[in-house]
Structure 1
C-alpha cells in the first residue's frame, strides 16, 4: 500500500479547491480523464460535478456516473488506497444525503461518513456540533443566516445531528449521530476511528486549521490500517488531508501569471448580498468599466431579446477593451421571483448560458479573467472555456483560487482564471483581487 491515499474530491461547484494548489481540476469524468487525475503527481484532484446547480435526480445521476467511471479508472491505474470527499458548501447548502448515499452505494462499503463543514478562510467554524458563520465579526448559527433560507436548499438547524435528521427525513436520527467534539479531536481520536463501522454518520468540530490537521492525521493513520471513510466536507479539511507545502507564487504576486500585463475581463453571476457589496466597490476602481446585463429580458418568450442582449453586451465589452480598460459584465441585481424551484433553476441556466456566450466572445488577448460565483465559475471552465482539465495555481486571496488554461487552448492559451465564490471575502475582496492582477497599488 502507498503511504498516502489518493484524495478524490467530487466537488459540487468549482470553488472547493480554494485552499489547495498545484493539482488538477477535471471538468469531465470519462474514464480517460479520471485516469489523468489518478496518475497526476499531486496527492489530490478534483472532479467538478457542479451538482449544486442540478435537480436532486440529475445530481444523483451525475454522481453515479462519476463513481462508476472512477471504479474503472482506479482499477486501470491499480490505485490501492484512496479517500473520497463529497465537497460541498460550508454554509450547508447542497444535495445531502443524496450524493453521499450514491457514493456509498457505488464505491462503498464505508466504515463511516463525516460531516466536516468548517471553512476557516470564510469564517465558518463548528463548536459543540453547532455550525457557525461569522457575520460582522459575530459567530452566528448558520440557520439564522441568509443561506438557510436558500430557495433550493433551505434548512432549519445549525446543530449538525439535527441537520442530519432533517435532511435524511429521520432515517438517521439525531441521537445516533457520532459527535467528535473539540476536546476529543485535540486529545486524538485514532482509537475511536478504528472502531467505526457500517457507514456510521459522524459530525466533526473544528475552530482552527490545527484542529482539522489533528483530525486528518488520525484519519490517515486509520485509513492506513484498512478503515474506509467518506467525507461530506467544506474546503479546509482538504488542506489538512493533502498536506501541501506553500504555493509556488504568493497571493500578492500572482500578477506574474497575467498575460502580457494586459487588462482582463470580469464576469459576475452570483447575486448573494456579499457579491453585490463587492461589486459596488469594484465598480469604483480606476480602469474598470461596468456593463449591466438586464437578465429579466430573458423571460420574454421569443429568442430575439436574448440575441439582442448578447450582441449589445459583446459590443460594449469590445469598446471597453479597446479603450484599455477591464470590462465587468454583471447580471442585474434585483431578485426575480418564480413559481417553483424548477423554473428558478431553468432561468439560472439561461442566465449562465448567456454569460458563457459572452466569455466565448471576449477579446482573445485579455490578460486575465475573473469569474464571480460558484456556478458561474464552473460554467466558465467547462462551457465558456470548454476545458477538459485545468491546473490549479493556488489562491490569489484566502478562499479564492486561480487556475490556468492549457497552453494549447485554441482561444485563450495560458490564461489565468480566478474562481471567486459568491459568499467569500469582505466588501473590498473583489476590488483587491482586481488590483493585484492589474498591478494597481493597494
Structure 2
C-alpha cells in the first residue's frame, strides 16, 4: 500500500504549507562555522547542472588523480566531480562510480583531507538510484570507510522543487504538482510512478526496501525539534532504512544540516543522494544573487566574439525556451536532424555541413545548434538511452567542429547530458570554477581553467529549469556583459 495518498493534481503553495509549524530560522554564519570543521564535501554529479546552486567551487570533469588533487587544494568546502552517469547504462555507471572512489581515496590520502560523498541526482528524481548509492557504499566499505546508510534530499528550492510530508513536488504555473504526475516521471529511461519518497524508494529498489522501513525527517521534526531531533532520527538510518528529508525553505535545510553534522561528529558516516539545494547548505554557503552584468564576460578571452548555443534537451520547457530565443535579433539557428544522425550513410556529412554553416555564421551572429525537437525513443529504456547517447554524441561532435572553425565568445549548453559532453569532449574542459549563476538560483557559469578554451565562459543550463524566457534572458545577458 502507498505510504500516503498523493494529491491527484496541483495544489496552491499556501494550501500545501498551511498548518505546518512556523519556519525555524538558522543563521547561515553558524552553519558555515559548523561546516568548516567537518570533512570536505565531494559531489559526484551525474550531470553538470548540480553546480547551479553554489559559487566559487572547483569542478573536474575527469577522474584523473592530478585533477582531483587540484580540486581538493582549492579554498572551497565542496568539490564537484562530473560523472555524467545519467547518460550511461547501469554497468558503465557502476564502474565509473567505483573508479572515482578509488581515485578519490588516493587523492584524499595524498592531500591529507577527509571527504564525505554526495551522489547528486536530478531534482525531478531521474537517474541511477539506488544503483549509485549502492555502489558507492560498497566501494567505501572496501576502502575501510563503512557507511551506515543513505539520506535522500532531492529538494531544489530555487527551481520550485520542494518536499512536504515526504511527497516531492515541482512548481508549475498552476501550482505545486506531485512529481510522479509530471512529464519527468514519464522519462523513457528513468521513469517512475510515486511522488511520496517512501513509495518511490520501494518502487526504485523493487521492493528490497519497503516504504514502511524508510526513516522520515519531516518539516515538523525540523522546525519544532530542531537539530537535536534530526540527529536522533538519523541514528535510525541503516542500509535497509534510508532517510527521506522534507524541505520547503532554505532554513529547513540549514537546520537539517546542523543536525546531520552533529550525527557525523558522533561517527555516523552517511552517503547523500541529493538535489542542488542541499549541496549549497552542506557546503556552508548561503544563496547568492546572480552574477552582475559585466562579470560573466570579464573572465573571457574573446570579448566581442559571438556566442554559440547548443540545445540538446527535449523536455517541453526547453522547446518552449527555444521558441522564445528565436525571437531575438542577430541569431542564426541550424538544426541537427535526428533522422540524418541516426542514418550511418548520412551522419558524418550532415555533422560536417551543420558545423560549416554554424562556424561561418558565428562571424556575424550568435548561433544556435539545436537537435530535432521530436524526441526519438526506443522500445525499452536501454534502447532509448542508446538513441539519446547517439544524438548527444553527434551534437558534441558538431560543436567541436564548429569551435575549431571559429572560437566563440561564450558557449551555452542546454541540457544536462548535453552540457557534460560538450564540456568534456567538445571544449576539452578538465578543470573549471563554477563562479555563480546567471539567473536567481539557476543556470551555472563555469570559468574553464584548463584546455584550449580556458577563459571562454561556459554556461550550464539544465533542461528542466527556468521559464519560457530564461534561455533568451541568458543570451541577452551574455551579449550585454
TM bracket (short chain): over 0.9
Which of 334, 337, 340 does residue 374 from structure 2 map onto?
A: 334
Q: How does 1:308-347 map to 2 (within 5 A)?
A: 308-322=349-363, 324-347=364-387
Q: C-alpha displacement at 1:243, in angstroms?
A: 1.8
Which of 276, 287, 295 does residue 235 from structure 1 map onto?
A: 276
Q: C-alpha displacement at 1:110, in angstroms?
A: 2.1
Q: How many equivalent residue pairs?
A: 434
3-state secondary structure, aligned to 1:134: strand
Q: How does 1:77-88 map to 2 (within 5 A)?
A: 77-80=111-114, 82-88=115-121
Cα deviation per residue 1:88-136 (whole Å; 9 max; x = unaligned)?
0001111111000111111142233111011012111000000001121
Runs (5+) with no aligned partner, structure 1: none
The 2-side partners of 1:248 and 1:155 are apart by 34
Q: C-alpha displacement at 1:248, in angstroms?
A: 9.5
The answer as to whether partners of 1:143 and 1:158 remain within 8 angstroms in 2 is yes
Is 1:97 matched with 2:130? yes
Structure 2 partner of 1:128:
165
Task: Sort the Cα spacing of 1:71 and 1:415 in 2 relative to 1 into closer, same or farther, 3 A.
Answer: same
Structure 1 partner of 2:434:
392
The 2-side partners of 1:229 and 1:309 are apart by 48
The answer as to whether partners of 1:110 and 1:197 remain within 8 angstroms in 2 is no
The 2-side partners of 1:249 and 1:396 are apart by 5
Task: Sort the Cα spacing of 1:2 and 1:147 in 2 relative to 1 into closer, same or farther, 3 A.
Answer: closer
Is 1:177 matched with 2:218? no
Which of 256, 263, 269 does residue 215 from structure 1 map onto?
A: 256
Structure 2 partner of 1:107:
140
Structure 2 partner of 1:353:
393
Task: Sort the Cα spacing of 1:439 and 1:167 in 2 relative to 1 into closer, same or farther, 3 A.
Answer: same
Cα deviation per residue 1:356-398 (whole Å; 9 max; x = unaligned)?
2222222443210000000000001111112221111111113
Is 1:196 matched with 2:232? no
Structure 1 partner of 2:59:
25
TM-score, normalisation: structure 2: 0.86
3-state secondary structure, aligned to 1:37: helix
3-state secondary structure, aligned to 1:17: helix
The answer as to whether partners of 1:193 and 1:222 remain within 8 angstroms in 2 is no
The 1-side partners of 2:308 and 2:65 are apart by 34
The 2-side partners of 1:30 and 1:171 are apart by 35
3-state secondary structure, aligned to 1:358: helix
Which of 22, 30, 53 does residue 87 from structure 2 map onto?
A: 53
Runs (5+) with no aligned partner, structure 2: 1-34
4+ runs deviating over 6 angstroms: none
Task: Sort the Cα spacing of 1:210 and 1:383 in 2 relative to 1 into closer, same or farther, 3 A.
Answer: same
